[in-house]
Structure 1
């Protein structure tokens, strides 16, 4: 994947820095502050309805039900709404590979292939090249929304965002002075996190980090296997829990078992061809025995997501994979970038570019669904040492610290795909960008609350159906 960029990597650092400072003429750092909706702003509920038209109809009410639970949950599902709001704003023109949905819950503890815990971005459904500030703004607004739900004062909300953006800016300055390979190899592993918390080992932050790390290590594929499967007369199978988990056999009762097995085999074979040779060899040690549709997340509800149960040596040697539908990124209509023949490949390639360490079973495929329509998917392990943050349980100091970790992590992702020298020069050494993003976060959180209320009004008017599960 080529990231569109106005800089040339072979230029001397001084010229790259000059280009970054020149970008302030296109978009000053202060102009990223206050958000006001465009005069002809698209109807946010209409944007969500257009997305829902491509999803499983029976699951769409669950999506709306989850988004209506709180402004923060609405925000998690409204990446398309925010993309439309960001597009008309002044742009720095400094391109990176965007996460595309950098809200706070998409930063978490993950397992590296070497079985070390790392802190990294987790979700890449919307990844696409674009202006670096779009990711930073999504993260900043998400922190304000989480802080408001926790009852933080305006001053505490500002402090949280400014800590996050300062960490992004300062770490980008560090990367600007590092050799290229050192930037690529940089990781936020458990040792790095412990160093950040060295002076606070006995306070709440240190305790919560140790607790999160311990819990993440329990979220193994073995635990998922025990939770999601059961022993049947045919052997180990995925346990149904409709509508959240529905086995393929229940969705295709009219089809013969031979037809279902053919469909499953075709899915795995297509996916296997996208893996490196050695991973393909590893996958051949497993056989696919069952598959079920699973409801996941908030914004992803209604997309076609499958859990695949594979068994190795025996029924106690499992591999659980998740095949998730990949549609065109919500950013695509606003970036004018290249299009992709397979959206699953877009997700996987973007993830490998900006995530420091990726799942060994990460791949993609194209599958003809139950309705006869061909769709793109990306595949990864279902659970693998994933530690999920809970911002709603954090006080001001802890959320500020979490924001710092997210900001530094996002800087590392952007430095891998963009030009850290130009980015650091644009951001500068003052707190002007930090203050602007705090202002943006507050004003966009106001907009998010209005959009959340509008979705509630659409339900009350009978325009949409919501189901709480």
Structure 2
């Protein structure tokens, strides 16, 4: 059987010409990658050089880590790569997450108290082709599979499972409201996904509070930790002043009494994520449901920027849909893509900058790609990943807000995929070809990084 890498030579050839770089000029691609990394990170150079140093060191650690930190490269490439044979104008209005990779899924309790497996990152949320999320997720399967020492044939089979599960789930949703009740829980999953859900369900609020805070003199405050540092008085004041706007961004039917949001402490969180390193992130301790210190809540304020997807689909999500506020764009994506989304999702502005706000959930467990260390584990997880992605896309369509997405996306995608085997072959070929390009891009980045080339 031929290698997946040779099954669609056209993709490989076009990949060599990404970003309008001549196919025979690999050095031009290398220079372009380095310049793109610099330009993407430079806006944060003056305020977050330490975080950017952490980001670059993390990205230098491997191709998958590099991929996590460079969604902007992916969507620059989507401008020039061939369109899918299984996409239409209508499917281009899918509300995608934009950064679908293995590290951006998790398990956590939803607002009903049920632990579920789902998409978990919404920073790049935007309207675009559903296949962009599938392509990005499938390529991450290849990169993580290589990290875990799995064979191309086993990885390719998992990519097929991912795509098949996505298409089948969309077909199940078509013509029904099934996406509104669909859940991936311990009762419906096995393997690493089931383990992730179980780990989330076993967590407690006390453990999270003990990790980051301490009670002294009857008052709970954040601990002084290397990754949780004090903020200047002006920042502290800016965050507390932003609380009124944040609370008003939550639907009145979902707001708690005003005392719930009383600020008790503010710290800056360092070292979280990969792609978002460099942007400000604050942990805000608030009173919670009662005056007791046992039910205090940690809110996360996360600075946001323009979605990377906008490079490939400029203006597709009109600014009026999110009041030109990138924090609101992310909040709307989070609420659109998750059934029973947490009630503390909102947005705020601090110092004139846009922030997405949500609870730092005590009942959350990251999905760990390193645990997919056998063909069976990878293949089983791939099926659930496909279902979770389909659920996110189907929820965020005309049933959520017809003014943003005017189509039934599950119907449009199902109708567009006239051949499931054809889409499997297309995505598999893309995933291996693009993973090869990521490896080359990572090598170019590491060469520049080791040479001391300015990368922010």
Aligned CA distance change for structure 1 residues 185 and 209 (closer, same or farther; 3 Å): closer
Change (3 A) 1:264 1:433: closer
Corresponding position of 2:367: 389
Distance 1:211 1:186, change over 3 A: closer
What is the SS of the residue equivalent to 2:224? Answer: coil
In structure 2, which of residues 384, 400, 410 is the aligned counterpart of residue 420 of structure 1?
Answer: 410
State the 1:264 CA deviation.
Answer: 3.5
User: In 2, Cα distance between the equivalents of 1:81 and 1:465?
Assistant: 14
Matches within 5 A, 1:20-419: 34=12, 36-37=15-16, 38=18, 39-40=20-21, 43-55=32-44, 56-91=48-83, 92=87, 93=89, 94-95=91-92, 96-176=94-174, 178-179=175-176, 181-193=177-189, 197=190, 205=191, 208-232=192-216, 235-242=219-226, 244-248=227-231, 252=232, 255=233, 262-282=237-257, 284-295=259-270, 296-311=272-287, 312-337=290-315, 338-339=318-319, 340=322, 341-368=324-351, 374-394=352-372, 395-416=374-395, 417=397, 418-419=408-409
How far did residue 267 of structure 1 move?
Answer: 1.7
* Partner Cα distance (2:356, 2:313) in 1: 22
1: CA distance, partners of 2:258 / 2:433: 49
1:238 touches 1:247 (CA, 8 Å); kept in 2? no
Cross-structure match for 2:5: none
Q: CA-to-partner distance for each residue in 1:168-223, whole Å, 9 max, x for gaps?
A: 112222222x32x3333333333333xxx4xxxxxxx2xx4553333112344332
CA distance in 2, matches of 1:272, 1:321: 12
Deviations along 1:374-393, one digit per CA (max 9) or x if unpaired, are 10001111124212222212
Name structure 1 gaps, 5 residues minimum.
1-29, 198-204, 369-373
Distance 1:377 1:306 in 2: 10
Tell me, in whole angstroms, the C-alpha distance in 2 between the residues paired with 1:217 and 1:36.
42
SS at match of 1:284: helix
The answer (yes or no) to whether the contact 1:164–1:407 under 8 Å persists in 2 is yes
Pairwise CA distance, 1:263: 2.7
Shift of 1:260: 6.1
Structure 1 residues 52-72: Cα deviation after superposition (integer angstroms, max 9, x where no partner): 122222311011011111111
Asked if structure 1 preserves the Cα contact closer than 8 Å seen for 2:36 and 2:73, the reply is yes
Distance in 2 (alpha carbons) for counterparts of 1:182 and 1:260: 45
SS in 1 for 2:15: coil
Distance 2:423 2:118 in 1: 23
Aligned partner of 1:452 among 442, 448, 456: 442
Q: Which residue of 1 aligns with 2:400?
A: none
1:222 and 1:318 in contact (8 A); partners too: no
Contact 2:301 2:357 in 1 (8 A): yes
For 1:12, the equivalent position in structure 2 comes to none
Q: Secondary structure at the match of 2:255?
A: helix
CA contact (8 A) 2:193 2:367 kept: no
Return closer, same or farther for 1:392/1:278 CA change in 2, 3 Å cut-off: same
- Deviation of 1:465 after TM superposition, in Å, equals 7.1
When normalised by structure 2's length, the TM-score is 0.84
How far apart, CA to CA, are the structure 2 residues paired with 1:353 and 1:317?
28
Cα deviation for residue 78 of structure 1 reads: 1.1
CA distance in 2, matches of 1:278, 1:323: 22
1:120–1:356: 8 Å Cα contact kept in structure 2? Answer: no
- Say what the alpha-carbon RMSD is for the aligned residues: 2.3
CA distance in 2, matches of 1:184, 1:33: 36
Deviation at 1:318, TM superposition (A): 1.0
What is the distance in 2 between the residues matched to 1:335 and 1:286? 37
1:233 Cα offset (Å) = 6.4
C-alpha separation in 2, matches of 1:432 and 1:261: 54
TM-score relative to the length of structure 1: 0.82
SS of match in other structure, 2:274 = coil
3-state SS, counterpart of residue 366 of structure 2: coil
Summarize deviations over 1:143-162 as a string: whole Å, max 9, x none.
Answer: 00010111111111211111
For residues 316 and 59 of structure 1, do their structure 2 counterparts lie closer, same or farther at Cα, with a shift above 3 Å needed? Answer: same
